[in-house]
Each structure stands twice: as structure tokens, then as C-alpha cells.
Amino acid sequence: ATPTAVMVGTGVGASQGTLIKGGQALESAHKVDCIVFDKTGTLTIGKAVVVNTRLLKNMVLREFYEPVAAAEVNSEHPLAKAIVEYAKKLREDEENPIWPEARNFESITGHGVRAVVRNKEIIVGNKNLMVDHNIDIPDDATEMLAETEGLAQTGILVSIDGELTGVLAISDPLKPGAREIISILKTMKVKSIMVTGDNWGTANSIAKEVGIDNVIAEAKPEQKAEKVKELQASGYILAMVGDGINDSPALVAADVGMAIGAGTDIAIEAADIVLMKSNLEDVIVAIDLSRKTFSRIR
């Protein structure tokens, strides 16, 4: 395409809410034949809500949630936001809650968080995080995890001072139209793959809902990037769509990295194209625009 065509193309993109960082990104997009989608915040709305809590110890919900929220309030993760929102509603100072201090806060990317609250060690996250800390998972908890995964929800475990204390079921529904977007991509001869740090059970349930057959779950950030490179090595021209810090290595590795506008700053920086409105359909708009811009010059 002529420099003018590229300028016009990027301009049209911008006016439609698709920020294309330079001509190279616009050019690569028309060759894309495979897209790797992150799950949380990308295919799903990323506004998760707690829908169920099972306590394994004798305590009231408010008492249970206080240290959990005190730890999670330090995390940017959508699941953390859901947990804090839920915990707020259990309190009288709901509008402006004062959480106890969380010391030694640590975020374990793709796994969860850890902190010391009121002299107790609080660990909140997935099963692997508990296994890594040698925390025993009773049958009750395993059962509830299986149940939540079957419902396409995410099960989060809470350990207090080394003892598994509760299981939360968190639901994060698909973005409206997600299923249609995947099916339109199929007609455009673009293959869709889902890569997520979430567990296999939940990942498979969501993939089935959205109509993606190809899933990789429990993937660490480096593994997301590795998968991208592996697909490129097998000949695909690849776009990655993601929103999280954990997606940035894959966004950089992809031929075209696309960040969800509502995503984290690090993902937006790592991407070549930013979907400002956070709409999945803008993935198609971007590819379409590129195809139109670059088919004129033949």
C-alpha cells in the first residue's frame, strides 16, 4: 500500500476506536490466519462476581471475607476486584471500607495472592497455589471445585494459616457476541485458539460456550508466549488478543498483538493494536481494515 493508504487506514481505524500503532501493524493484520485469545477479560467481560461461598470452618461470612479482601485489595486482577466487591457488601462501612493492614503482600502471577493480615497468613488463589504451599485440600473443597468448573465458573481457594478455610465460586460471563465473533472468524478462514491461566475444567466449559475447539489452560505467561511462537513456527501468521500483564509476553511475540482497551497498561504498551472500546468485534474490524488497505495495491 502507498504511505497515503496506510495513513488513511490507520486514520479510519482510530475514528472507529481501533488504535493502530504504525503501518507495520496494519500491514501484518491482513495476513493473520490464526488468533490466540486470552480468556479472562478478553473473551469474558472481566467483571467477575462471587456467586457462591463454601466455608469449611465455623465462621461467619463477614469474618471470613475481611482478611481475604484486605489481601486482594492490593491486586489488579478481575477476580480480586470481584472478591473485594463482594466483601464490601457484607459490611456496614460498605461505601468506604477500612480493611485491616496486609503485610508482605505478594502477587503470584497466574496463581493468586499471599499476605499476612492480623498476624495470619492468607493465601487466595487456585489449586496449584495451594499445592505449592503444601496446603491440604479436603474432599469437600475438591467437590465444590469440580462443580464450579462444570458451570464455567472459577473456583478460588482460601487458606488461613495453612488451613483450607473456604472455596469461592466466581462467575465471569462471556462478552456479548463473543460466540458470533468466533464463528465469523471461521468464515474468514481465521482459526481461533484460547489460552488461559485458569484451570482446565473452567477453560473447557468456557471454550465450549464460545465455540472454540482448541484450548490451552493453566498456562503461565511464558507458556502463552511459547504457544504463540510454536504456532508461528508451524506457519501461522498470528494475532494475540489479551488484556493482562500475563499476556504481554505473548502480545510481543505475536505478529500482531491486540490489547483490550480496558486492560492493564502493560498489555496496552506491549500491543500493536489497541481495541479502545474493548469490543471483540473490533478484532474483525482491524483485520478487515487491513485487508481492504492492502488489497488495493496489487
Of 126, 148, 153, 223, the one binding ligand ADP (CB under 6 A) is 126
Q: What character string, x for contact with ligand ADP (CB under 6 A) and - otherwise, covers 177-216?
A: -------------------xxx------------------
Stretch binding ligand ADP (CB under 6 A), from 5-13, 89-97, 110-118, 144-152:
110-118
- Cell, residue 277: 472500546
Q: Considering beta carbons, is residue 154 or 279 the nearer one to ligand ADP?
A: 154
Q: How many residues bind ligand ADP (CB under 6 A)?
A: 23
Q: Does residue number 244 form part of the binding site for Mg ion (CB under 5 A)?
A: yes
Residue 112 binds ligand ADP (CB under 6 A): yes
Give the range of 21-29, 60-68, 124-132, 185-193 binding ligand ADP by CB under 6 A. 124-132
By CB under 5 A, tell whether 272 contacts Mg ion. Answer: no
Dihedral sign, Cα of residue 187, residue 16, residue 194, residue 204: negative
Does residue 166 touch ligand ADP according to CB under 6 A?
no
Find the part of the chain contacting ligand ADP (CB under 6 A) among 12-20, 118-126, 181-189, 278-286: 118-126
Using alpha carbons, select from 286, 204, 292 the residue that is nearest to residue 35. 286
Choice between 31 and 54, CB closer to ligand ADP: 54
Q: What are phi and psi of 188, to 5 degrees?
A: -85, 10
Among 19, 37, 38, 270, binds ligand ADP (CB under 6 A): 38
Indicate the residue among 38 and 72 with the shorter CB distance to Mg ion.
38
Nearest residue to 28 (alpha-carbon basis) of 254, 181, 201, 200: 254
Choosing from 38, 243, 247, 272, the catalytic residue is 38
Task: Quickly list DSSP for the chain.
Answer: --HHHHHHHHHHHHHTTEEE-SHHHHHHHTT--EEEEEIIIIIB-S--EEEEEEESSS--HHHHHHHHHHHHTT---HHHHHHHHHHHHTSTTTTS--PPPEEEEEEETTTEEEEEETTEEEEEE-HHHHHHTT----HHHHHHHHHHHHTTPEEEEEEETTEEEEEEEEE-PBPTTHHHHHHHHHHTT-EEEEE-SS-HHHHHHHHHHHT--EEE-S--HHHHHHHHHHHHHTT--EEEEE-SGGGHHHHHHSSEEEEETTS-HHHHHH-SEEETT--THHHHHHHHHHHHHHHTT-
User: Can you tell me which of 9, 13, 125, 257 binds ligand ADP, judged by CB under 6 A?
Assistant: 125
User: Which of 32, 50, 122, 124 touches ligand ADP (CB under 6 A)?
Assistant: 124
Calculate the dihedral angle through the C-alpha atoms of 28, 174, 129, 249, rounding to the nearest 10 degrees.
10
Q: Which of 10, 18, 28, 40 binds ligand ADP (CB under 6 A)?
A: 40
Q: Which of 1, 34, 35, 41 binds Mg ion (CB under 5 A)?
A: 41
Q: Cβ 110 to ligand ADP, closest distance in Å?
A: 4
The reply to whether 38 belongs to the active site is: yes
- Contact flag: residue 165 with ligand ADP (CB under 6 A): no
Residues that bind ligand ADP (CB under 6 A): 38-41, 72, 75, 77, 79-80, 110-113, 124-126, 154, 156, 196-198, 244, 246
- Annotated catalytic residues are 38
